[in-house]
């Protein structure tokens, strides 16, 4: 499509869909028009892709996730469609400043953090690698909340993204599915066959809204299918005519609630009934849609597992297992064994966490009332699985650990292990912990079922698109082959001693820092010191991620500066960005603490041009895109054994930031390719941390170490704003319905400060630092989503993909 053709198409969309001319159009109108033009372009290619797929009858991938953190799509799609330049020109010629316009696109925030962003990166790679794949999720009206900081505290605002973001979606009411909730189940004989009858249920309509996904350098297009919940009835006219106006629309309200809002908990399970409704609504609509389509093409479900693989992103979509069983038995009339064989060979499960509070365990009573037929199927699965376990181990303790239903709770991870063909962790260390600890017994029963696929990120978005300066340097040195073959980034290693390349790298970082400073000034009015090292920790706020350890180190530096005002201290700007789940009180307190510390340091003349602390409001994909290219130090400091992988760590690495981190998650593999000399490691290893936790007393460390004691006392006493943080101090030293300092901050403090020292000393040796930065970029190819998707395709899905 040429620039002129794009212009014509945009003008037409403006007139038809927004009722305005380019001169009358606002930014919102223009964004909607551009989105619709690219959407049409992709829809056309999508039709061809789907025809081809039905003709070839290859195995398809269905990627199910309650979260897809897509972020913005306009630049991404234009980039992948090869239209970036012509779109930019077209928009400018229609009287808009392209860069400013693109910055107005709202993020599609249909996810919390890493898990949701992973799904988005994988869609890009699956499409680029020509894998026939569909993503499925819920079309939440409200995505992840917008964060505002008011008087130091987080306030949540609704994220109404559909107003403009909806322009990417194609509603397909003709493909709607009906989902049944509640009601009762009875059996009856029909023609000599025992039939299951589900009745008196509430019907909810699931309407698909499709978002087309373009790949890079391919005509292949995949789809992200987002289900919207609607009541099949509008209002009950009988109730209405009796004057019961509220009751008349009750069912409608109930249905609308299901796709209203994303649950904002990251790495945390909430046993809310509406959440279970969301999960089943999503799963049932998706499975019905997949099986219906399969029947249309093949006329039978008996070969379903040969032609389909369903990957589930954590246990949130685990009900695919009983839902497939229900459809195979109740609708297709299969017997248990055949239905089970097909189900078992269709579903693969990705585990994302070992944190106990994140493992889903639903109350049995909720299943009995909300999903009576699914409950019956689960009970039968659980019985058969238990018999298998007993026969294998003859050990009641293992029977209990592996049980699917136990003590009134339904354990979703065990359901996934029993009902799927594959379980995978998301980094080498995490997969090892699953095999040796969390799922030890299941691993012993079925070792072949366990895999590792280390996470990866879309390097085209997270490097080429957001860091054009670095992209062009890479192209100058090694060509653009890395776009489809990220391992070619290795070629950069050859320039480790080329001073002009190292200097250019430093310049690019400097330009990116200035650009980000400009962005931050416009966004929230802060003035960043671009002469200081940009030392960054951005991710969801969680105690295990240890933002508080970062705070302790900053306070330690500040106290040293107070002792020796004339000391030689290289300037550092500490940047934080993090949303706290609205119900996570401690996380919100830590945000407030960061604000208090920032206020203290930024107002102390002693710190001027030396220390700066900034909390960046509303961390989200589009902020990460502005920030990663400007970052110099990446804080990846979770308690070893707790972060399954991390993906933020990979985005930083690709952009040349140097990691200060623990041997946790994918940091372990980053260290493997980087060597000790290109990463600043510190702290306990996973096994040491687990061993220490068994007899840990942080109070001993506090009593013994005056430096540590002073830092903690400083937190207790608070800062110039007069807010006390004694609660946090007490939580660390004595606990509070939880073990004291569960995440071992005090145990790692000294080692962390030492890593900070080594890092900042090295930064002073500019040539050496730039070399480390270069090595990080050069060896980041293994952390591209393309590599991860090739792993899935080869080891788990058994589908071909582009070389």
Ligand X SMILES: *Cc1c(COP(=O)(O)O)cnc(C)c1O
Alpha-carbon span 319 to 404, nearest angstrom: 13
Alpha-carbon span 427 to 439, nearest angstrom: 15
C-beta of 628: minimal distance to ligand X in Å?
9
Q: Which is nearer to ligand X, 72 or 589 (CB)?
A: 72
Q: Catalytic: which of 647, 659, 775, 779? A: 647
Q: Catalytic: which of 513, 546, 589, 651? A: 651
Q: Which is nearer to ligand X, 22 or 71 (CB)?
A: 71
Q: Catalytic: which of 352, 411, 579, 775? A: 352
**Is 651 one of the annotated active-site residues of the chain?**
yes
Cα–chain center distance at 589: 24
Q: Which is nearer to ligand X, 42 or 626 (CB)?
A: 626
Q: Which is nearer to ligand X, 132 or 264 (CB)?
A: 264
Q: Is 474 exposed, middle or buried (0-12, 13-18, 19+ CB in 10 A)?
A: buried
Cβ neighbour number for residue 477 with a 10 Å cutoff? 15
**Is 539 one of the annotated active-site residues of the chain?**
yes
C-beta of 149: minimal distance to ligand X in Å?
17
User: Nearest-CA neighbor of 272 among 34, 637, 581?
Assistant: 581
Q: Are 622 and 70 in contact (CB under 8 A)?
A: no
Tokens 């930014």, residue located: 27
Q: Catalytic: which of 539, 546, 620, 642? A: 539
Helix (H) or strand (E) holding 221: strand 221-230
Q: Which is nearer to ligand X, 113 or 135 (CB)?
A: 113
**Is 148 one of the annotated active-site residues of the chain?**
no
C-beta of 607: minimal distance to ligand X in Å?
27
**Is 579 one of the annotated active-site residues of the chain?**
no
Q: Catalytic: which of 220, 275, 504, 545? A: 545
User: Nearest-CA neighbor of 682 among 753, 752, 757, 622?
Assistant: 752
Q: Catalytic: which of 180, 305, 540, 642? A: 540
C-beta of 118: minimal distance to ligand X in Å?
8
Q: Are 140 and 125 in contact (CB under 8 A)?
A: no
C-beta of 638: minimal distance to ligand X in Å?
9
Instruction: Please enumerate in sequence order all residues whose Cβ is within 8 A of that of 657, keeping only pairs 6 or more positions apart, or say none.
Output: 536, 628, 631, 632, 633, 634, 773, 776
Q: Are 372 and 185 in contact (CB under 8 A)?
A: yes
Alpha-carbon span 609 to 588, nearest angstrom: 29
C-beta of 620: minimal distance to ligand X in Å?
5
Q: Are 289 and 225 in contact (CB under 8 A)?
A: yes
C-beta of 435: minimal distance to ligand X in Å?
22
Q: Which is nearer to ligand X, 180 or 546 (CB)?
A: 546
Cα–chain center distance at 334: 37
Residue 790 has which token pair?
Answer: 């090739």
Q: Which is nearer to ligand X, 373 or 540 (CB)?
A: 540
**Is 647 one of the annotated active-site residues of the chain?**
yes
- Which one-letter DSSP state was computed for residue 544? G
- Which one-letter DSSP state was computed for residue 72? -
Q: Are 37 and 13 in contact (CB under 8 A)?
A: yes
Q: Which is nearer to ligand X, 134 or 647 (CB)?
A: 647
- Which one-letter DSSP state was computed for residue 266? S
What residue ranges bind ligand X (CB under 6 A)?
A: 113-114, 117, 539-540, 619-621, 624, 646-648, 651
Alpha-carbon span 65 to 423, nearest angstrom: 15
Which residues are known catalytic residues? 352, 539-540, 545, 647, 651
């Amino acid at each position: 499509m040429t620039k002129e053709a794009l212009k014509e198409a945009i003008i037409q969309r403006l007139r038809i869909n927004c009722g305005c001319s380019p001169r009358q159009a606002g930014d919102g109108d223009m964004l909607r028009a551009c989105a619709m033009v690219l959407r049409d372009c992709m829809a056309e290619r999508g039709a061809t892709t789907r025809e081809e797929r039905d003709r070839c009858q290859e195995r398809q991938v269905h990627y199910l996730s309650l979260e897809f953190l897509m972020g913005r799509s306009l630049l991404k799609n234009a980039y992948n469609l090869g239209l970036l330049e012509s779109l930019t020109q077209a928009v400018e010629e229609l009287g808009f400043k392209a860069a400013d316009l693109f910055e107005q696109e709202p993020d599609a925030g249909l996810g919390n953090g890493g898990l949701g962003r992973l799904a988005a990166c994988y869609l890009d790679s699956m499409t680029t690698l020509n894998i026939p794949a569909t993503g499925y999720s819920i079309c939440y009206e409200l995505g992840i909340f917008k964060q505002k900081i008011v008087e130091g505290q987080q306030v949540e605002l609704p994220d109404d993204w559909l107003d403009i973001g909806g322009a990417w979606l194609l509603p397909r009411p003709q493909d709607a599915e009906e989902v049944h909730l509640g009601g009762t189940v009875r059996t009856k004989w029909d023609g000599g066959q025992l039939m299951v009858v589900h009745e008196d249920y509430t019907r909810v309509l699931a309407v698909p809204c499709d978002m087309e996904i373009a790949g890079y350098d391919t005509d292949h297009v995949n789809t992200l299918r987002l289900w919207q919940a609607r009541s099949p009835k509008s209002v009950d006219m009988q109730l209405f005519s009796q004057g019961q106006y509220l009751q008349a629309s009750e069912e409608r309200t109930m249905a609308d609630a299901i796709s209203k809002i994303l649950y904002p908990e990251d790495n945390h399970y909430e046993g809310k009934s509406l959440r279970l409704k969301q999960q089943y609504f999503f799963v049932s609509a998706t499975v019905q849609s997949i099986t219906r389509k399969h029947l249309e093409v093949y006329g039978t479900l008996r070969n379903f597992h040969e032609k389909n693989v369903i990957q589930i992103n954590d246990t949130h979509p685990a009900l695919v297992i009983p839902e497939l069983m229900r459809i195979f038995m109740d609708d297709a009339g299969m017997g248990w064994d055949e239905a089970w064989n097909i189900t078992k060979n269709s579903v693969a499960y990705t585990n994302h966490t070992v944190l106990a509070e994140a493992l889903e365990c639903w109350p049995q009573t909720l299943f009995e009332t909300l999903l009576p037929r699914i409950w019956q199927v689960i009970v039968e699965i659980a019985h058969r699985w238990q018999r298998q376990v007993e026969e294998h181990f003859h050990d009641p303790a293992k029977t209990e650990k592996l049980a699917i239903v136990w003590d009134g709770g339904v354990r979703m991870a065990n359901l996934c292990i029993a009902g799927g063909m594959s379980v995978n962790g998301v980094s080498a260390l995490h997969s090892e912990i699953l095999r040796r600890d969390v799922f030890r017994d299941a691993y012993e029963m079925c070792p072949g079922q366990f895999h590792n696929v280390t996470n990866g990120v879309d390097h085209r978005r997270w490097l080429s698109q957001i860091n054009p300066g670095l992209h062009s340097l890479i192209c100058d040195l090694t060509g653009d082959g890395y776009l489809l073959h990220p391992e070619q980034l290795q070629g950069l290693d050859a320039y480790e001693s080329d001073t002009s390349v190292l200097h250019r790298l430093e310049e690019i970082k400097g330009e990116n820092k200035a650009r980000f400073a400009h962005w931050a000034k416009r966004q929230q009015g802060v003035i960043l010191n671009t002469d200081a090292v940009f030392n960054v920790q951005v991710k969801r706020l969680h105690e295990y991620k240890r933002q508080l350890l970062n705070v302790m180190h900053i306070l330690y530096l500040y106290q040293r500066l107070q002792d020796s005002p004339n000391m030689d201290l290289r300037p550092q700007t500490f940047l934080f960005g993090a949303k706290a789940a609205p119900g996570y009180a401690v996380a919100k307190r830590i945000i407030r603490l960061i604000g208090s510390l920032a206020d203290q340091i930024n107002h102390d003349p002693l710190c001027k041009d030396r220390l700066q602390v900034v909390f960046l409001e509303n961390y989200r994909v589009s902020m990460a895109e502005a920030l990663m290219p400007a970052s110099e130090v990446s804080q990846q400091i979770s308690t070893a054994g707790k972060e399954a992988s991390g993906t933020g760590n990979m985005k930083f690495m690709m952009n040349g930031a140097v990691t200060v981190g623990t041997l946790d998650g994918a940091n372990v593999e980053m260290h493997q390719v980087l060597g000790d000399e290109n990463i600043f490691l510190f702290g306990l290893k996973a096994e040491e941390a687990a061993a220490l936790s068994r007899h840990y007393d942080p109070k001993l460390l506090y009593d013994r170490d005056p430096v540590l004691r002073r830092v903690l006392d400083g937190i207790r006493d608070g800062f110039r704003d007069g807010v006390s943080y004694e609660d946090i101090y007490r939580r660390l030293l004595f606990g509070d319905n939880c073990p004291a300092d569960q995440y071992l901050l005090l145990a790692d403090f000294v080692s962390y400060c030492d890593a900070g020292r080594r890092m900042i000393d090295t930064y002073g040796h500019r040539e050496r630092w730039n070399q480390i930065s270069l090595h990080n970029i050069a060896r980041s190819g293994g952390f591209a989503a393309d590599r991860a998707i090739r792993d899935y395709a080869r080891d788990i899905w058994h589908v071909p993909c582009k070389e």
